[in-house]
Copies of this chain bind each other. A is one copy, B any other.
């Protein structure tokens, strides 16, 4: 249940309801709203009706993530970036951090294309245990150094709740991978921090699954959440690794206040398709993009086939910003 209170008495009524129901129910407040989990409407005190503009009983389980509870866009600010609202943010970098020199070069390219955030994996969730598993903490150090040198923010994946504190020493944004979208222990752990979290949609996660996973983070008190659409698993994967579900962009934007970012690289899995799908993601209304780049894709330690070479990235990024500019004239 979400109660939209009359502003004049909202604070007092929130305090009263917390005092009365807080011991037995999860309660959340946002401006003049209050959400009470698991309470039946008939149990409300008589004066709540008079103090309310409206009482919503058809409320999703992921209540804090809902626009019904939090109508305004969430805007996330990191040292060099603003994520959400009318902004468009570019995140680029190699799939894996491969060396200090390489990630530095890639950060320079990312920046040149207008990125304010550099990506790179130091802990890699690989399908096979015998594949390259990442450089670990050393990789984080390389990425941090490159980000700082080029005046960029850093995003990197955390795979494990035990690693949260360590990764937190380096990164500006946690990335939760698609395979871990319902690793609830990990979601709870990043929810205990105040570091922004980029939550990737699982391969077969419904929209509601995504929102409930985000709610695990929010339930811990961390509301700096962005959602990444990176393609879903369908019957057709001969020519694309996944099916890029761009309908999820406006759907999520209507249901939740968190920024929605698109990941065309993982969605398609082959570089020739990245630019058109990146453009489609911008046109669908995403607040940003995360894209993989590599100067020598055939030598990449992971996911080379989907990496854009620098020149291709620079052209794509320029187009993306032009397209976003055009869209600002439509609002």
* Most B-side CB within 10 Å, residue of A26, A184, A244, A267: A184
- Within A234-261, the residues touching B (CB, 8 Å) are 234-240, 243-247, 249-251, 254-255
8 Å CB contact of A206 from B161, B202, B238, B327: B238
A56 to B315, CA, bound (A): 33
A312-B178 Cα distance, complex, nearest whole Å: 36
Chain B nearest CB, measured from A29 CB (Å): 16
Q: How far is the CA of A219 from the CA of B247 in the complex (A)?
A: 35
Return the contact of A208 from the options B238, B243, B267, B326 (Cβ within 8 A).
B238
CB of A112 closer than 8 Å to a CB of B = no
A209, B247: Cα distance in complex, Å: 23
Contact present for B216 and A61 (CB under 8 Å): no
Interface positions, chain A 174-193, Cβ under 8 Å from B, are 179-180, 182-185, 188
Interface size class of A (residues with CB under 8 A): 35 or more
Which one of A160, A237, A315 has the highest number of Cβ atoms from chain B below 10 Å of its Cβ?
A160
Q: Contacting A204 at CB < 8 Å: which of B204, B319, B323, B330?
A: B204
Closest to A284 in B: B280
Inter-chain contact B185/A159, CB cutoff 8 Å:
yes
Chain B residues with CB under 8 Å of A185's CB are 159-160, 162
Which residues of chain B are near A235, meaning CB under 8 Å?
Answer: 204, 206, 232-235, 237
Instruction: Given A125-B184, A185-B160, A276-B284, decide whether A243 and B234 contact each other with a Cβ distance below 8 A.
Output: yes
Interchain nearest-CB distance for A183 vs B (Å): 5
Q: Is A273 an interface residue (CB 8 A)?
A: yes
Question: A203: which B residues are within 8 A, CB to CB?
Answer: 204
A279 on interface, CB distance cutoff 8 Å:
yes
With a CB–CB cut-off of 8 A, which chain B residues contact A244? 245-247
A190 to B239, CA, bound (A): 28
Verify B245–A273 contact, CB threshold 8 A. no
Instruction: Give residues in A with beta carbon < 8 Å to B.
Output: 26, 37-38, 61-62, 125-131, 159-162, 179-180, 182-185, 188, 202-204, 206-209, 212, 215-216, 219, 232-240, 243-247, 249-251, 254-255, 267-268, 272-273, 276-277, 279-285, 315, 319, 322-323, 326-327, 330
Sample of 8 further A-B pairs with CB below 8 A, known A125-B182, A235-B237, A243-B247: A159-B185, A161-B161, A204-B235, A206-B235, A239-B255, A246-B277, A246-B280, A279-B285
